[in-house]
Structure 1
Amino acid sequence: MPRPRRTQISLEDTPYYHCCSRVVRRAFLCGDDKFSGKNYDHRRSWIETLLFELETVFAIDVAAFAVMSNHLHVVLHIDVETANRWTDREVLEQWHKLFNGDDLTRKFAKGELVEPHEVVRLRHAIAIYRSRLCDLSWFMRCLNEPIARQANQEDNCTGRFWEGRFKSQALLDEAAVLACMAYVDLNPIRAMMADTPEQSEHTSIQLRIKAALKGEQPKKLLSFIGNERAHQPKGIAFSLQDYLELVDDTGRIIRNDKRGAISENSAKLLRRLNIPRDNWLKLTTEFGKLFHGPVGTLQELTHYCEHLEKRRRHFVTSCQHFPTD
């Protein structure tokens, strides 16, 4: 039986989560449907456009994404600090980008005077909206529901488009985050939808490579901030160049028609993560099969379960792929 989403989210342990949504009927999310003969590639742009629109509204950053033929992957970073820094009016302005609110919230957002007897109700609404703007379920709801309606309209049908629930996994440490991002970024290569990461359309890795060629990072994605941690802005605590090289090396290895090897620079990054080469390849090719719940070392999994008051540590055997010192 599926567990309530609140029993899977522990911001005390990690702000990073991997989410996956799959279509429930035969029609493809995108790509060619051999049964109907139709092509749905244009739906990829629906997903990507809406994903980044939501990123500007929510206090949630996109670290990685890949839109596949019948499912999509996103790695998200929940930025509670940003949500807490927003003023009351900023919270309402953000919320009203997606939802109408009510007469009271619209009045306050416009700077109009609020009656004393309305203050309690207004504060209650602001607190709810602030919480929702850094809520994983609300983010995925606002992503999946419009796409489902648009696809149903195009297919001239009704009913479910997505499976009943999106799947989410807590990524409990740096190694889990990087392994999951690489797994997501290499999805098109494993599925033979692309030969190289830079040819993988509608993926985060393609955006990062295109920006890197200009000496930049995509503004729409959570940035890599390097190895130094002190006085750094929010971001992924690794070198972008190291990550791109590691993904490229891994992509060459997992393709049967290419010859590749882990370079010395990539090997240094894996040693820093304390992940053996064979474990890394298994993680980036079988991540979805290995993990059906939280991802990380046994120690991090134990802390996660304690904070969520779980009596049992599920998926313990998968922790062996993230060895501790």
Structure 2
Amino acid sequence: MPRPQRSEQFDSAEVCIVHVVQRCVRRAFLAGVNSETGVDYSFRKEWIRRRMEALASVFAIDVLSYAVMSNHMHQILRNRPDVCRTWSDEEIAIRWLKVFPGRRMDDHLAEPTENDVKMLVNNQERLAEIRGRLSDISWFMRALAEPIARMANKQDECTGRFWEGRFKAQRIVDEAGLLACSMYVDLNPVRAAMASTPSNCINTSAYDRMEARKGHRIESAAFELQPNSAEEAGREIRETSVDELAAKQRRKKRNPTGRRIPRDGWLSPLTLAEDQLSNNPLANSEGLRSSDRGFLNLAWSEYRRLLEWTANQKGGSTSSDVPKPLSRVLTRIGLEPSMWRELVWNWQRYFGKTGRIGRPDSLRNDAERSGRHHHRGQSAAATCFT
């Protein structure tokens, strides 16, 4: 069965949460150690994390969870057209031009100038199109995957496809499905025997949140949302060689704003507080992420205890051992405690080939809303939810 069209899965004008998976083609290695050649590509994980962090500062997309694996990567993304509507025309223009300036300087993107911003603002038809793209998950993934592929191919001294094809997308339709999917994503390195505990799962959202609570700070990869003046840009071009300009661009790319932030400062907050349930989009004012809205009705301490307990169940211990406090958390959100371990550790059995993730009643309602009789996987997942 062919994959559904993107327009059937999510709409850039509607807030929705999507689990996306992007895989490498053939035996290309995204990160980690290639068992056949012995080459270690682990450093590429930081390429991807920093690129996601940079894009989170300009797109109206919240990064809820992520994991970078050896030959694929997972993200749970929430598009925020409501946040995008709060940005002025000038903000839309500078955000877009930071990612897609339309011209290159050697191997680096040129910095947009004030004149570039004014020209785009004056083109209202083009600006309206761009406003829609800034809350479009497909454009976010395009801006993430394309430069990674270019850098990897250059390093591997080859050409052609690096990614398998278009990314796989699964819309998450309720909180129970979101908690299970987020746990599945954060525990991917443990499931793959790349790490023994969540605290060792480097380049996952859970690891970033844990390190941030230890006080770990990093150099921010967020774009500086200010254009260059036309005079300054002209002077640089006249007085600086191409090699010097490229070197300056590389230094600025490392930390464009000169700030150090908590390691999880670019991720969406985990806890959805009661005061966040209003229609206020809660746009982030620091230029680090789209918004300050959380996504789960549980505290980080509860999420971490559940994460660590679930990680310890990889040996197949019985589900009746779920501690009562965690069992109450699962029941409150709509998950069956006795099937929790089975759902997370055998995720592919229940949601590996589906286009939607959630409780059977939520899937049924979503199918009716979209004019379908049902969604694939409703029956298989029924025992995992209350």
- Which letter does structure 2 place at the counterpart of 1:98? V
- For residue 159 of structure 1, report the CA deviation from its aligned partner: 1.3
Specify the alignment match of 1:123 in structure 2: 124
Specify the alignment match of 2:345 in structure 1: 285
* Alignment RMSD: 2.8
Given that 2:93 and 2:120 are in contact with CA atoms closer than 8 Å, whether structure 1 keeps it comes out as no
Task: Give the whole-Å Cα distance in 1 for the aligned partners of 2:12 and 2:127.
Answer: 21
Residues 13, 270 of structure 1: alpha-carbon distance in 2 compared, 3 angstrom cutoff? farther
Q: How many residues align?
A: 315
After superposition, give the CA deviation of every residue in 1:155-184 in whole Å (9 maximum; x if it has no partner).
111111111110011110011111100000
Residues 56, 101 of structure 1: alpha-carbon distance in 2 compared, 3 angstrom cutoff? same
Q: Does 1:235 align with 2:294?
A: yes
Q: Is the deviation greater in 28-37 or in 273-282?
A: 273-282
Specify the alignment match of 1:320 in structure 2: 382
Task: Give the whole-Å Cα distance in 1 for the aligned partners of 2:114 and 2:274.
Answer: 45
- Which letter does structure 1 place at the counterpart of 2:64? A
Stretches of structure 2 lacking an aligned partner (at least 5 in a row): 104-111, 217-261, 283-292
Following superposition of structure 1 onto structure 2, how do residues 54-203 of structure 1 map, counting pairs within 5 Å? Answer: 54-100=55-101, 110-111=117-118, 122-203=123-204
After superposition, give the CA deviation of every residue in 1:68-112 in whole Å (9 maximum; x if it has no partner).
11111011111121111111111111101111269xx97776558
Q: Does 1:273 align with 2:333?
A: yes
Residues 109, 28 of structure 1: alpha-carbon distance in 2 compared, 3 angstrom cutoff? closer
- Which letter does structure 1 place at the counterpart of 2:193? M
Task: Give the whole-Å Cα distance in 1 for the aligned partners of 2:276 and 2:43.
Answer: 43
Identity between Structure 1 and Structure 2 (%): 35
Following superposition of structure 1 onto structure 2, how do residues 43-58 of structure 1 map, counting pairs within 5 Å? Answer: 43-58=44-59
- For residue 253 of structure 1, report the CA deviation from its aligned partner: 1.4
Given that 2:14 and 2:81 are in contact with CA atoms closer than 8 Å, whether structure 1 keeps it comes out as no
Given that 2:149 and 2:162 are in contact with CA atoms closer than 8 Å, whether structure 1 keeps it comes out as yes
Residues 313, 261 of structure 1: alpha-carbon distance in 2 compared, 3 angstrom cutoff? closer
Q: Structure 1 segments of 4 or more deviating over 4 A?
A: 10-14, 105-114, 214-217, 229-233
TM-score between both structures, scaled by the size of structure 2: 0.74
Residues 303, 13 of structure 1: alpha-carbon distance in 2 compared, 3 angstrom cutoff? farther
After superposition, give the CA deviation of every residue in 1:111-160 in whole Å (9 maximum; x if it has no partner).
5898xxxx5xx111111111000101101111111111111111111111
Specify the alignment match of 2:358 in structure 1: 296
After superposition, give the CA deviation of every residue in 1:5-47 in whole Å (9 maximum; x if it has no partner).
1111157986211000111121321111121121111111111
Residues 286, 138 of structure 1: alpha-carbon distance in 2 compared, 3 angstrom cutoff? same
Q: Is the deviation greater in 271-280 or in 105-114?
A: 105-114
Given that 2:67 and 2:74 are in contact with CA atoms closer than 8 Å, whether structure 1 keeps it comes out as yes
Task: Give the whole-Å Cα distance in 1 for the aligned partners of 2:28 and 2:118.
Answer: 47
Given that 2:340 and 2:384 are in contact with CA atoms closer than 8 Å, whether structure 1 keeps it comes out as no
- For residue 264 of structure 1, report the CA deviation from its aligned partner: 2.8
- For residue 301 of structure 1, report the CA deviation from its aligned partner: 1.6
TM-score between both structures, scaled by the size of structure 1: 0.87
Given that 2:13 and 2:135 are in contact with CA atoms closer than 8 Å, whether structure 1 keeps it comes out as no
- For residue 212 of structure 1, report the CA deviation from its aligned partner: 2.5
Following superposition of structure 1 onto structure 2, how do residues 196-215 of structure 1 map, counting pairs within 5 Å? Answer: 196-214=197-215
Task: Give the whole-Å Cα distance in 1 for the aligned partners of 2:14 and 2:96.
Answer: 27
Specify the alignment match of 1:223 in structure 2: 269
Determine helix, strand or coil for the equivalent of 2:301. Answer: helix
Q: Is the deviation greater in 178-187 or in 270-279?
A: 270-279
Given that 1:227 and 1:239 are in contact with CA atoms closer than 8 Å, whether structure 2 keeps it comes out as no
Task: Give the whole-Å Cα distance in 1 for the aligned partners of 2:270 and 2:85.
Answer: 23
Residues 217, 229 of structure 1: alpha-carbon distance in 2 compared, 3 angstrom cutoff? farther
Residues 199, 261 of structure 1: alpha-carbon distance in 2 compared, 3 angstrom cutoff? farther
Given that 1:10 and 1:304 are in contact with CA atoms closer than 8 Å, whether structure 2 keeps it comes out as no
Specify the alignment match of 2:371 in structure 1: 309
Given that 2:12 and 2:137 are in contact with CA atoms closer than 8 Å, whether structure 1 keeps it comes out as no
Given that 2:22 and 2:163 are in contact with CA atoms closer than 8 Å, whether structure 1 keeps it comes out as yes
Given that 2:67 and 2:185 are in contact with CA atoms closer than 8 Å, whether structure 1 keeps it comes out as yes
- For residue 210 of structure 1, report the CA deviation from its aligned partner: 1.4
Task: Give the whole-Å Cα distance in 2 for the aligned partners of 1:49 and 1:181.
Answer: 20
Determine helix, strand or coil for the equivalent of 1:148. Answer: helix
- Which letter does structure 2 place at the counterpart of 1:225? T
Residues 140, 228 of structure 1: alpha-carbon distance in 2 compared, 3 angstrom cutoff? same
Given that 1:66 and 1:204 are in contact with CA atoms closer than 8 Å, whether structure 2 keeps it comes out as yes
